[in-house]
Amino acid sequence: MKKLTVLAFAGAALLFTACNDKKETVKDAQEVAAKTGDAYKVDLATSNVNWKAFHKGGFAPRWGTLNLKSGEVTVADNAVTSGDFVIDMTTLKVDPASVTEADKKPADLEAHLKNEDFFNVTENPTADFKITSVADLAGELPKDAVAGSNKTVSGNLTLLGKTLNVSFPAKVTVTEGKAAVEAKFTVNRTDWGIKFGTDETDPAEWMISKDIEIGINVNAAK
């Protein structure tokens, strides 16, 4: 049972990698950006959130997806000025290709990730991200950032009822009535209170990384 628990978290750590030294800036919630300009509705069919997590050292990776429930960005002067996205936590999926052990099942991992040990989707069926600022990217591009990243996006991420502000590099484009935001970044799940499997005095739990790699792919149109 302990072994199953360990593998369960490695796959879940939500929305986001252990072998990555770079974690994005996290701080208290900030004022949400004003909605200025034209509203672009997110295309739910082509937009999603990807997650990936590991045991320490990069072993036994697990990955999967989450669907967006709703979303909108605003655009003024050919630039994204705000954004509001709701993530449907009940759609959390584990990619079967990431579960290679013969005695493990993706469905069991999904069920564990959805229960009160992790995301407790019964009481917290959604998470949300609200942009607080979009600025030109300055400095060297982190090695784990999406190719072509040109902006630093900051926003309030609410998970399990806790809201923190996270900043990360992103590729943001606006062309002919369409807007897209693509990003990949790493966060520490314990910042949002997801502490299952973090007892480092227990050898079985010590192996589980606290870091989650999150990938964002958002497409929107007028």
Can you give the pLDDT at residue 22?
Answer: 52
Maximal CA-CA distance, the chain: 56
DSSP 8-class letter at 43:
-
Q: Helix, strand, coil shares of the chain as percentages rounded to 5?
A: 15, 45, 40
**CA 77/CA 46 separation, integer angstroms:** 25
Q: Which amino acid is at 133?
A: S
Q: Are 156 and 142 in contact (CB under 8 A)?
A: no
pLDDT band at 204 (very low <50, low <70, confident <90, very high): low
pLDDT band at 9 (very low <50, low <70, confident <90, very high): very low
**CA 15/CA 213 separation, integer angstroms:** 7
Q: What is the chain's mean pLDDT, rounded?
A: 86
Tell me the domains of the chain and their CATH numbers. 2-221 (2.40.128.110)
* Listed residue (89, 100, 112) closest to 6, CA to CA: 112
pLDDT band at 141 (very low <50, low <70, confident <90, very high): confident
Residue-wise pLDDT tens digits, 57-77: 667 788 999 999 999 999 999
pLDDT band at 201 (very low <50, low <70, confident <90, very high): low
DSSP 120-168: -TTT--EEEEEEEEEEE--SPPPTTSPTT--EEEEEEEEETTEEEEEEE
Can you give the pLDDT at residue 102?
Answer: 83
Residue 46 neighbours by CB under 8 Å, 6+ apart: 217, 219
